[in-house]
Amino acid sequence: MNRRPLILVGAMAVGLILAGCTPSTPPEKTDTSQIVIDTSFDIKTIDPGRQYEPTGMIVDKALYDTLLTFADGDTANVIPSLASYVPNDDLTEFILTMEEGRLFSDGTPVTAADAVFTLERLAGMKGNPSFLLDGVTIELVDEMTLKLSTEDPNPALPAILATPSAGILNSAVVIANGGTTGVDDGADAYLNANSAGSGPYMLVSMDLATEVVFVKNPYYNGAQTPTYDKVILRNVDPATQKMSIERGDSQVALGLSSDQVESLSSSVKVKSVSSATLVFLLMNADPAVNELTANPQCVKAVKEAIDYQSLLDLAGLGAAQATGVIPNGFLGALPAADQLKFDLEAAKADATACGMNDVSITLSLPNDIDPTGLNMTNLAQRLQQQLAAAGITVTLAPAPFATEIDAYRTGKEHIGLWYWNPDYQDPAGYLVFSPGQMVGLRANWQAGANPVIEGLVPQATTASDPVVRAGLLEDWGRAMIAEGPFIPLIQPGSNVAYQPTVTNIHYSPTWIINVAGLGAA
């Protein structure tokens, strides 16, 4: 008799008995019903055509698809999103073809007419980001095609079309709720309570002081299907963020300082990179506001009085000195040899010569916002101490972001401590610091104040050859730090703390983090 089959049967029986005694337990599946993300809010609106702050970018990236985009982790290469594009040779004309079958969150199709309305509204409302489309002509070619054209080459335009401020709106819905393509647009109230996009998520509620909640868009059919059913983006101070991420009450924290990151529980993971956030001082160039801040020698004294290495020590993990107005990592950023340098004796001499001794100047700052975890109040106090050593007295005037932002934007600050996140992933976005440009005017640096710098702006904006463009941007950057009223300080580290169950953490210079791209382990 062949006994082999009996042996096998017996072995199988033993295996079944053992399996019954010690059943295997499948690994626990990560809960993807909800994710809580903590940050410090600087939202004023989430209307794409009006919003201009980092937190608004996070929200609108989730709610609105753009015509073009950047892949997670890639800050250099524009790729299709709602549309593909073909430029002409001299970058003055861009033909965009919409992807077939894409839907808004109410199930209606996304068309080229929606894109044209969105871009015309962005340009025509004259809101904060409207300058992005200055000089751009927008034409509807057919139901699925639009053409953008400019008189001069515009190499930055594809990156501009990828910014959340250019998120494509459902034109029928927006028009029905007060939307127009002019300064009389009244759709902001609706868009602050409802979303009208084709993005991976749709808005449930928004409170500017506490939280924004969004859920999966049931009609989303784009390339990046979100992992989490519901997202709660909370406005939380850094100390509370640290406690929440360690307890597991939140899954991601975006606002921790380097000190907090270094003392986190080992159960929390951290991703640290040098951010593209530029922290800078603004010296008001209008003598009617302050004669001293408008004096170039006084501005020079402040530049020399700052111990930049000491600021880096304060900023901690991942931070870098800003070599110029264009941050490290962008085309045209200055090499380290060009960065501003600490020279206390020269600062003392210049401060005395320009009459800064024994006169107090007000230094204003937002005190309830910590860009990428950097404590602005601590930074202001460090600057106050350093300037005092050079005989320059400043009185700190901290105020909530919502209050101080208006004084900053209307050119009323004597010295302002502020930060700038790129509006889009191209160095042209920093040329707004020039005389007569949007940020230049916040320092009351009027057109005509510096013809050399102003002459470089159109050249650097339109150069289609990357090598030529980089050289022009560097020339502009050197002139800015030598003669401008802005003092580049540091680029803080971007420290994202997260639970091990969360994956696909990627920092973006524009929208900080792509919520729809987050995965689950």
The full DSSP string for 121-150 is: HHHHS--GGGGGGTTEEEEEEETTEEEEEE
What is the C-alpha separation between 131 and 60, in angstroms, rounded? 19
Handedness of CA 370, 373, 378, 382 (dihedral sign): negative
Q: Report pLDDT for 393.
A: 98
Torsion angles phi and psi, residue 264, rounded to 5: -65, 155
Tokens of 1: 């008799």
Tokens 């045209």 belong to residue: 332
H/E segment holding residue 39: strand 35-39
Residue 81 structural domain: 35-237+495-520
Tokens of 459: 């050249």
Q: Quick check: 301 pLDDT over 60?
A: yes
Across 1-15, 108-122, 506-520, least confident range = 1-15
> Do the domain assignments include residue 213?
yes
> Do the domain assignments include residue 475?
yes
> Do the domain assignments include residue 4?
no
What is the C-alpha separation between 62 and 216, in angstroms, rounded? 10
| Residue 272 near residue 318, CB atoms below 8 Å | yes
> Do the domain assignments include residue 8?
no
Alpha helices in 284-335 (DSSP H): 296-305, 308-315
Q: Report pLDDT for 30.
A: 83
CATH of the domain at 374: 3.10.105.10
Give me the percent of the chain exceeding a pLDDT of 70: 95
Shared domain for 195 and 286, answered yes or no, is no
Q: Report pLDDT for 28.
A: 66
What pTM value is reported for the model? 0.80
> Do the domain assignments include residue 245?
no
Cα end-to-end span (Å), the chain: 53
Tokens of 421: 């996140």
Phi-psi region at 334: left, alpha or beta (left = phi > 0; alpha = psi -120 to 50): beta
Average pLDDT, stretch 334-359?
96
Rounded alpha-carbon distances, angstroms, from residue 417 to 16, 89, 158, 375, 379: 71, 42, 31, 12, 9
Q: Quick check: 428 pLDDT over 60?
A: yes
Q: Quick check: 3 pLDDT over 80?
A: no
What is the C-alpha separation between 438 and 334, in angstroms, rounded? 22
Q: Report pLDDT for 22.
A: 44
What is the C-alpha separation between 268 and 283, in angstroms, rounded? 41
Average pLDDT, stretch 482-509?
95
- In this prediction, residue 76 has a pLDDT band, given cuts at 50, 70 and 90, of confident
Shared domain for 365 and 480, answered yes or no, is yes
CATH of the domain at 146: 3.40.190.10
Q: Report pLDDT for 444.
A: 98
Shared domain for 456 and 507, answered yes or no, is no
Shared domain for 304 and 414, answered yes or no, is yes
Shared domain for 47 and 134, answered yes or no, is yes
> Do the domain assignments include residue 243?
no
pLDDT mean across residues, the chain: 92
Q: Report pLDDT for 16.
A: 32
Tokens of 238: 């850094």
Shared domain for 335 and 416, answered yes or no, is yes
Q: Report pLDDT for 2.
A: 35
CB-based burial label for 58 (10 Å; 0-12, 13-18, 19+) = buried
Shared domain for 487 and 500, answered yes or no, is no
What is the C-alpha separation between 57 and 491, in angstroms, rounded? 19
> Could you tell me which residues are beta bridge partners of residue 138?
148
| Residue 284 near residue 294, CB atoms below 8 Å | yes
Comparing CA positions, the residue from 498, 514, 503 lying closest to residue 242 is 498
Q: pLDDT per residue over 451-492, tens digit each?
A: 999 999 999 999 988 899 999 999 999 999 999 999 999 999
Q: pLDDT per residue over 240-267, tens digit each?
A: 999 999 999 999 999 888 889 989 999 9
Q: How many CB atoms lie within 10 A of CB 508?
A: 23
Shared domain for 322 and 189, answered yes or no, is no
Angle at 149 between CA 148 and CA 154, to 5 degrees: 105
Q: Report pLDDT for 13.
A: 36
Report DSSP state, residue 277: P
Average pLDDT, stretch 44-64?
95
> Do the domain assignments include residue 20?
no
Shared domain for 326 and 340, answered yes or no, is yes
What is the DSSP pairing of strand 252-253 with strand 35-39? parallel
Phi-psi region at 101: left, alpha or beta (left = phi > 0; alpha = psi -120 to 50): left
Q: How many CB atoms lie within 10 A of CB 362?
A: 15
Torsion angles phi and psi, residue 357, rounded to 5: -65, 140
Q: Give the type of residue at 462.
A: T
Comparing CA positions, the residue from 521, 486, 483 lying closest to residue 505 is 521
Q: Quick check: 29 pLDDT over 80?
A: no
Shared domain for 334 and 218, answered yes or no, is no
Tokens of 461: 């904006």
Shared domain for 292 and 382, answered yes or no, is yes
Looking at per-residue confidence, does 368 or 180 come out higher? Answer: 180
SS3 328: coil
Q: Report pLDDT for 27.
A: 53
What is the C-alpha separation between 43 and 193, in angstroms, rounded? 14
Q: pLDDT per residue over 136-182, tens digit each?
A: 999 999 999 999 999 999 999 999 999 999 999 999 999 999 999 99
The total domain count for the chain is 2
> Do the domain assignments include residue 181?
yes
Shared domain for 508 and 478, answered yes or no, is no
